[in-house]
Chains A and B, each alone.
Chain A
């Protein structure tokens, strides 16, 4: 019973969130290593301005999906950066992780793919294993917040999908990351 209520609330809130994005700002540039991630209010936050939904009404399902990409929603923040040779999730990502955990707990039908990535130095296969550790770290953090393991898959892209192509420390930092995708996005 409780779960159902929570789910309904979450779905409604997200539907509202989804409706307000058509004139929202562009997706912000990817944060870099030293910028702390944006920390807007959680999924049940009140800072959201209601706005008109143009066209036909979305189904709750569609609204949920759209909400995941709403730049005003913390759920649109999908990248967790790591220090060199590190798999520890920095404290600054706590609100990002908890927003995603809340969403998954509230929406048990949703699944998440976590892709770990590394910089390009060293062996491709060893980097694949290192990227896996970054993905597993995010998975474990979500599970600690109550997410069912069946909803989560941690995989690695190793050094194969860099965000920055340079060979400087700044590019390497940009590539040491985990990225989050929801069902329907992969």
Chain B
């Protein structure tokens, strides 16, 4: 009994190690995700080694397991070393005894055109219903993507909410005076450079359809807002007015942006069409108004203003109107970010000289500080609202971290290369 338990633990560690080695492979510029806190009630799931996996250049099972484990919502149950086919006869009672509430089995077979077909069966042992099934056909070039989609399938079936393993993140890395705007898979393992510059790049924001990024670049010695098509790499100017142009935020329809301009003196809120036409003033104050963010229904623009003396979060109808104050506790509350369902506000609060990520339930006005470091900035919700990605600092170096909106799950994404990583923005579900 004892020996068996230890044996299974060793096996568990062995494949975890294998997964880690896979993750570390060629990881010079990649971000490694480390879980530093997990959910209270993790779902125990067994993912048996996929039958026919030897056909593939890399192990697909490892990608799926790593995704699920990283989410902090699953506990991986050791499935043993055997490959189990999707249609194999299984004794669910036996899997239940091993501690699994769910079991995933899959087979990979060659498909026409040098591609592969994977069939998966997912048993929800706890609910004892009929197994769910899925079939994907994929080329080896899209193997990682396929792994993320399989993980999304399992995640959604077992939690009831959409997974975000197939989504992308954007961030800015800075190394030796060079700035790179990168687009990466949500697991930080597939970075692609969208823009290189010797001048700073800040405030990347995804278009709702996931095809473009708006950002602020200082390449012209002043802040100018650009929109960048990811497919073509074409960069177009959205706002280059006299003074500073910054803080772009997409309207939910993807046609307009909220921006901050200083053409008339202090930083003020406007909306503008993506092609730079149709400039409209949204709010007026003699103070700083900045960091606009549309509510998901497009009805309001949340923003930071020091009109009341200290920087606080306000909101204004997006067509213009009276501003109402949203945050009241503390002397520094900035960077409002709405959850995708519009119910939760994430923001940065100064807490005894430390800058931390907080959330407010907009219905009850209850607030909670989610993070513990002293330089936490730039919160960005995952498109399913579960996690909040943010910029932090460890040992004087910029790193990315993530925390669940309930504060339970904590992840650290750290690059193995030198330099800072900052300004994260989690992309939408839509994948072009």
> Which residues of A line the B interface, CB within 8 A?
113, 115, 121-126, 128-130, 132-133, 136, 153-158, 160-161, 167, 181, 186
Evaluate contact between B223 and A155: CB separation under 8 angstroms. yes
Most chain A CB within 10 A, of B202, B260, B396, is at B202
Residue B25 is within 8 A (CB to CB) of chain A in the complex:
no
A123 touches B335 (CB 8 A): yes
Apart from A132-B262, A155-B244, what 4 extra A-B contacts exist at CB < 8 Å? A125-B304, A126-B291, A126-B311, A129-B290
Please name the residue on chain A nearest to B374 by beta carbon.
A121
Contact with A along B281-315 (1 / 0, CB 8 A): 00000001011000000000000100000010000
CB within 8 Å of A: which of B186-201?
200
List 22 contacting pairs A-B, 8 Å CB cutoff, sorted by A.
A115-B221, A123-B291, A123-B304, A123-B378, A124-B378, A125-B304, A126-B311, A126-B334, A126-B335, A128-B216, A128-B223, A129-B267, A136-B262, A153-B222, A153-B243, A154-B243, A155-B262, A156-B244, A156-B262, A160-B202, A161-B200, A161-B218
B221 touches A125 (CB 8 A): no
Across chains A and B, the number of contacting residue pairs, with CB separation under 8 Å, is 96
Q: Distance in Å from the Cβ of A129 to the closest Cβ of chain B?
A: 4
B329-352 residues at the A interface, CB under 8 angstroms: 332, 334-335, 348, 350
A125: B residues at CB distance < 8 A: 202-203, 246-247, 260, 290-291, 304, 334-335
B376 to chain A, nearest CB (A): 11
Establish whether residues A130 and B288, one from each chain, have CB atoms under 8 Å apart when the complex forms: yes
Residues A123 and B377 in contact, CB atoms below 8 Å apart: yes
Query: Which residues 203-229 in B have Cβ within 8 Å of A in the complex?
Result: 203, 216, 218, 221-223
Q: Beta-carbon contacts of B217-258 to A below 8 Å, as 1s and 0s?
A: 010011100000000000000000011101100000000000
Contact present for B266 and A132 (CB under 8 Å): yes
Contact A129 B218 (CB under 8 A): no
Contact of B218 among A153, A160, A181 (CB under 8 A): A160
Which residues from chain A contact B278 at a C-beta distance below 8 Å? none
In the complex, B50 has a CB within 8 A of chain A = no
- Option from A113, A122, A154 in Cβ contact (under 8 Å) with B221: A113
**B265 contacts A by Cβ under 8 Å:** yes
Bound form: Cα–Cα A161–B260 in Å: 20
Decide yes or no whether B423 CB sits under 8 A from chain A: yes
Residue of B nearest to A160 (CB): B200
Which residues of A have CB within 8 Å of B203? 124-125
A113 to B243, CA, bound (A): 9
Residues of A within 8 A of B218 (CB): 157, 160-161
Binding site for A on B (CB under 8 A): 200, 202-203, 216, 218, 221-223, 242-244, 246-247, 260, 262, 265-267, 288, 290-291, 304, 311, 332, 334-335, 348, 350, 355, 377-378, 396, 423
Tell me the nearest residue of chain A to B242, going by C-beta: A153
Chain A min CB distance to B136 (Å)? 40
In the bound complex, do residue A126 and residue B290 qualify as a contact, i.e. CB atoms below 8 Å apart?
yes
Residue of A nearest to B248 (CB): A125
In the docked arrangement, what's the CA distance between A129 and B396, Å? Answer: 24
| A153 CA / B244 CA spacing, docked (Å) | 9
Complexed CA–CA distance, A111 and B191 (Å): 42
Task: Report Cα–Cα, A106/B242, bound state, in Å.
Answer: 23
Partner of A186, one of B221, B288, B335, B348: B221
Q: How far is the CB of B337 from chain A (nearest CB, A)?
A: 11
Cα A123 to Cα B202 in complex, Å, equals: 11
Residue A154 contacts which of B262, B350, B423 (CB distance < 8 angstroms)?
Answer: B262
Please, which residues of chain B bring their CB within 8 A of the CB of A161? 200, 218
Chain A residues, Cβ within 8 Å of B355: 121-123
The chain B residue with its CB closest to the CB of A116 is B244
CB of B266 within 8 A of CB of A136, answer yes
Q: Complex formed: what's the CA distance from A121 to B393 in Å?
A: 12
Across-interface contacts of A158 in B (CB, < 8 A)? 202, 223
Asked whether, in the complex, the Cβ of B335 is within 8 Å of the Cβ of A113, the reply is no
Q: Contacts of A130 on B, CB cut-off 8 Å?
A: 288
- B399, chain A: closest CB distance, angstroms: 15
A128 and B221 form a contact (CB under 8 A)? no
Of A121, A128, A167, A181, which contacts B396 at CB under 8 A? Answer: A167
Q: Pick the 3 closest A-B CB pairs, nearest first.
A: A160-B200, A129-B267, A155-B222
In the complex, the chain B residue whose C-beta lies closest to that of A139 is B265
What residues of A have a CB within 8 angstroms of the CB of B222 in the complex?
A: 113, 115, 153, 155, 157
Q: How far is the CB of A132 from chain B (nearest CB, A)?
A: 5
Cβ of A123: which chain B residues have Cβ within 8 Å of it?
Answer: 291, 304, 334-335, 348, 355, 377-378
Minimum CB–CB distance from A44 to chain B (whole Å) comes to 31
Which of A113, A126, A153, A157 meets B288, CB within 8 Å? A126
C-alpha spacing A115/B199, complex, angstroms: 14
A186 to B222, CA, bound (A): 9
Q: How far is the CA of A121 from the CA of B332 in the complex (A)?
A: 11
Give A128 to B290 CA distance when docked, in angstroms: 9
Interface core residue of B202, B267, B335 (most chain A CB under 10 Å):
B267
Q: A121 to B200, alpha carbons, bound, how many Å?
A: 17
B290–chain A nearest beta-carbon distance, Å: 5
Contact between A124 and B202, CB atoms less than 8 A apart:
yes
Give A154 to B222 CA distance when docked, in angstroms: 9
- Give the Cβ gap from B377 to chain A, nearest Cβ, in Å: 6
Closest to B353 in A: A121
Whether B243 lies near A132 (C-beta < 8 A) is yes
Report chain A residues within 8 Å CB of B304.
Answer: 123, 125-126
Known: A122-B332, A123-B291. A128 touches B200 (CB 8 A): no
CB closest residue in chain A, given B203: A125
